[in-house]
Amino acid sequence: MLSWVRPRGSLYEGVWCQADRRGWDSYAGSKFAVEFQFGPEPVIGGKTICRRRIGDLLNPAEQEEARAIQNRVIASLRKPPKNYAFLNVCEEVSTLYLKEFDLLDQPYGERDDIWFRYASKEDVDRWATFLVDKLPNCLRQVETWDEQTPRY
């Protein structure tokens, strides 16, 4: 995982990117999540006082900006042919897989887990620009966390 950790007093704060465990799909692309943590160890995914995904740290306008980028990525995807393996496992798998190609028609909710979809270098560049702009404010929020901050 790509990560960054820094000490804060006797504790540590960090941010990391988690790649989708399904890996790359030639039609649906892939996705990654961004998570922040605060705790007693400089270990990403280790013991924490608090962990939150980036969606919890974005304001509604920023969430809408993310949804617009997400929809741009989804709109650029090409659907697989009918003989594609995921479409021929069973109806449930096929239905779930095809949802990957549906635009997000509702704003992100307070507890939605935002995974950043990508299928091209341009998509990754777009997300990088978005994240470079949003990370400073997210980190400022993490800096306010303490032992009493709700875990998640």
The count of structural domains within the chain is 1
Q: Are strands 116-118 and 50-53 parallel, antiparallel or unpaired?
A: unpaired
pLDDT of 151:
66
Each residue's pLDDT tens digit, 54-110: 999 999 999 999 999 999 999 999 999 999 988 888 899 899 999 999 999 999 987
Residue 36 — pLDDT band, cuts 50, 70, 90? very high
pLDDT of 7:
94
Q: How is residue 13 written in tokens? A: 């704060």
Q: Is residue 49 part of a domain?
A: yes
Q: Is residue 136 part of a domain?
A: yes
Expressed as residue numbers, the domain containing 99 is 2-142
Q: Is residue 149 part of a domain?
A: no
User: 96-116 burial by CB neighbour count: b if 16+ within 10 A, else e?
Assistant: ebeebeeeeeeebeeebebbb
Each residue's pLDDT tens digit, 108-126: 987 789 999 999 999 999 9
Q: Is residue 98 part of a domain?
A: yes
Q: Is residue 20 part of a domain?
A: yes
The model carries a pTM of 0.89
Residues 32, 123: Cα–Cα separation, whole Å? 12
pLDDT of 152:
64
Residues 75, 72: Cα–Cα separation, whole Å? 5
Each residue's pLDDT tens digit, 7-31: 999 999 999 999 998 889 999 999 9
Q: Is residue 109 part of a domain?
A: yes
Residues 15, 50: Cα–Cα separation, whole Å? 12
Q: Is residue 105 part of a domain?
A: yes
Q: Is residue 86 part of a domain?
A: yes
